[in-house]
Structure 1
Amino acid sequence: MTDLNEIEAVAGAVVQAGGAELRQRYRDGDNDGNYSTYDVKAAADEAAEEKMLPVVRRAFPDHAVFAEEAGTFAGSAPYRWIIDPLDGTNNFAAGLPTFASSVAVLQDEEPMLAALHQPATGETYLARRGAGVRYEDQQVTAESDIDVEAATVATIVGRDVPRDSDLARQADGIQAAVDETVKRVIDSWAPTVHSGLFSRGQLQGLVQFHPDEEEQTVTELLATEAGASTRRDGPLYIAACDDETLTALWQATSDVR
């Protein structure tokens, strides 16, 4: 059986390796890539993954891996890694420092561990099932004493939502409903970054709609292990700093669900 402490150590090394590549390219102003109406695929995505993937493959050659750029690698062990080399590609390409490298590890398809590193600020988070969330090696929680009316909430949608007119209308309705309930809504283009902020009480809520797998596992594990109040209805997932905030967000979106 693979030692979970070893997996944790490797996960930390993986996001640091990807982050180092991104940090250098960000400082060099490297925003080469393919730009479309809905998304950006930067050269930095592939470059960071090329630093991250070999670390996992060398340490655990029998683990399955899904890498955003390279695809799927089969494995015989009960573990599967999900590598997101650059969460927040649009931000990176625009010169905004809100982006991260992240990995998630599942055991028998159950989220077990997540790590993310923000290269521009040097911040690192690690969530481990049953062990909570560490931010810069300090245990943190999603607790906040900010009232619902003064709360800041991040909304997260998957990459395919804007391409589907029905899903896009639903997402717009959800965001509008949340906007009427709290002080500020952040339309997140870097879900793992905002989930990290939520896990240490800097944001008071997360609202996810049809999230992408490489981000969903990280964001939901951070929320759960940070002690957040959570609720799900199919593709809609809401996490909040306390039950009162969760109830308010759930009720606000009831007509849209």
Structure 2
Amino acid sequence: MNKPIYTRWWFWVLIVIITLGIIQVVNTGKQTTQTALPSASPTPAGSQESSPEATITPSTTSASAVSAENSVAPSESPASASPGVTTPAATVQPSAEPSQTISADQVPLPKQEVLAYTRQLKGSPFIRDVGIGTDNIEIHFFNSFAEYKKANPSEKLTSSDYTNEFGSVDAVNAILMEVSTRLFHHFPGTASIDITLPYQGKTYSVSLTKGSVEKFYHTDLDSIKSEQQWRDQISSTFFTKDYRDQFAKRFVKVT
């Protein structure tokens, strides 16, 4: 009588071989699937990460380049064209005899030109010294005719000339008023002026700002562009006894 096949030893060996083969096939399929999925996944992920970098970086660079070009071009154009035309126009306006060719708002006051101009003003022969800063002018008159003569022995001016120049309080006020106003007008960048004038034991002085003087005259001194405008708006209107008294009351200190 034949034994059942499952009792044969080779039957079980065959079963084991078949089982191992199936397991091998299953494992191989899983590895293939796992290998395929990661290789597919990094590619899109990598492309998504690198794509924004490639997009943003060129965009930022090009934007900076455009911005730099735009920032340079406008700044060069106005600087070379507009100020070059308008600045001289602003500096010519103080009077018919301008002493500056460049606005004093941009450069310090021209010392030699200020000195030359002060020698043309009322009482100028008796000015002891003139101090000139970036936007300030300071003037000191001699304390007396004797002091003036000692400093200028070869000059021919007499004590009568000195007295005629400063012979009254009104004459002193006229000098303080006209000298300061003309300087503010002639040198538009002047911000402040200090003048000290001793006479007969008293010292008359003013410390003025351009704004305070313009407020007194109710005008913009820089808008006066000709001698005719100067006469109409300032000298013929305000250089009178009444206005000198008002000027002195507001600005002149006596010690």
- The TM-score bracket by the shorter chain reads under 0.3
TM-score (norm 1): 0.24
Larger helix share, 1 or 2: 2
Q: Which has the larger radius of gyration?
A: 2
TM-score (norm 2): 0.24
Larger strand share, 1 or 2: 1
